[in-house]
Structure 1
């Protein structure tokens, strides 16, 4: 249990560290795009190997695939609503979009930790941490640029970190002991939402910021995730 809280705390603290980086440090668009693409590549592998495949083995193919499709559809619908109501470039819309992205990621992390040794979810946790850093840095930098004070910006990101920590803890405790089919469907639903976020938020932003190296960074992310996965099964 202590390890679970430690993993969740480190992953969520990356949001605060990223916000501090964006507010007080220097962040080039190329660096941001490279790290985001790297994290996206790692997430592709870890979602399939740590979430979807184990869920299908635990339940059945149709429950898993149906839940993945449902998660992607729900994420895309809510993401569209946020863009239309708040605007993708506004401070509130940006924070809401990142929260929407982070909730399924952290829910997936919490669910993945059920009955698993920490090394078995190292790729998933590491890729979420890597994605949180540049997303928070870029978001905080934009919010300050739009006129929000540094203190309020940091406070909003701290609240976001608490919300995403809660999502991971809920995923771990609320779903522990449920039927294998419910757990499998939940894992795949969260995975589907993250897949949709990769397609609509992560990779487009990575390409926009660093289009020359985005493909290389994505491949590096895939390599790192596969390597960590092999370490877990060794």
Structure 2
């Protein structure tokens, strides 16, 4: 449980540090685009190596495929509702978009930490920090630029998001320790599908708009850094 709490602290800390940087820091559009692409690259590797591949090994390729498809479809539906019905800049819509891929991923994260050694925990925590910090910074900066909310309100929204994801990771570690490997595989792949959809519709398009010259390099760099952290854990 102590290791789980350490990783949860990294998850929450990365989101809060990123949000504070985006709201109060001096971040150019090009820097924002580079960081978002960096996070996207890290997520590409994470969703394959930490979510999909273990699920296929523990269950079946058919269940994994169904989970990925379900996650992508539900994310696309939520993304449509946020854009067309709730408003893309609403606090509730933002929480829905972030939580849809984050909650199942963190549920599975809590289970994955059971029996993990210190080096594995360090690698996993580093990968999470690498992806969450720039993602939160870019999103918080965009919210601040819209001018619809105060800086304090934006930080409060991200604090609520960090709390939701932290609770999900702890719940996964405590409540799903004895769950069926097929259920855990579906949860992981549902999260992977939502992440894939968010990368295609939100992350990479935003990165390219902000920094189209270096976004490809940043994506590759994020993937390489995530791979290096994964090797550390192995």
1:54 corresponds to: 54
2:133 corresponds to: 133
TM-superposed deviation, 1:6: 0.8
Q: 4+ runs of 1 displaced by more than 6 Å?
A: none
1:230 corresponds to: 231
2:201 corresponds to: 200
Normalised by the size of structure 1, how large is the TM-score?
Answer: 0.88
Q: Structure 1 residues 208, 123: CA separation in 2 closer, same or farther (over 3 Å shift)?
A: farther
Q: How far, CA to CA, are the matches of 1:181 and 1:225 in structure 2?
A: 26
1:37-86: per-residue Cα shift (whole Å, max 9, x none)? Answer: 11111111122112211111111221112111111111111121111112
1:157-215: per-residue Cα shift (whole Å, max 9, x none)? Answer: 21121111112222222211111211212221222221221111111111111111111
TM-superposed deviation, 1:121: 5.9
Quick check: 1:50–1:124 contact (8 Å CA) kept in 2?
Answer: no
1:66 corresponds to: 66
Quick check: 1:50–1:121 contact (8 Å CA) kept in 2?
Answer: no
Quick check: 1:70–1:189 contact (8 Å CA) kept in 2?
Answer: yes
Quick check: 1:58–1:184 contact (8 Å CA) kept in 2?
Answer: yes
Q: Structure 1 residues 173, 134: CA separation in 2 closer, same or farther (over 3 Å shift)?
A: same
Q: Which sections of structure 2, spanning at least 5 residues, go unmatched?
A: none
1:16 corresponds to: 16
Q: How far, CA to CA, are the matches of 2:140 and 2:193 in structure 1?
A: 27
1:190 corresponds to: 191
Quick check: 1:105–1:194 contact (8 Å CA) kept in 2?
Answer: no
TM-superposed deviation, 1:22: 2.0
RMSD (Å) for aligned C-alpha atoms? 2.2
TM-superposed deviation, 1:5: 0.8
TM-superposed deviation, 1:124: 5.1
Q: 1:81-100 counterparts in 2 under 5 A?
A: 81-90=81-90, 92-100=92-100
1:176 corresponds to: 177
Q: How far, CA to CA, are the matches of 2:44 and 2:118 in structure 1?
A: 19
Q: How far, CA to CA, are the matches of 2:114 and 2:132 in structure 1?
A: 22
Quick check: 1:47–1:124 contact (8 Å CA) kept in 2?
Answer: no
Q: How far, CA to CA, are the matches of 1:123 and 1:209 in structure 2?
A: 29
Q: How far, CA to CA, are the matches of 2:233 and 2:127 in structure 1?
A: 15
2:157 corresponds to: 156
TM-superposed deviation, 1:90: 4.9
Q: How far, CA to CA, are the matches of 2:199 and 2:123 in structure 1?
A: 16
Q: How far, CA to CA, are the matches of 1:176 and 1:110 in structure 2?
A: 9
Q: How far, CA to CA, are the matches of 1:152 and 1:159 in structure 2?
A: 11
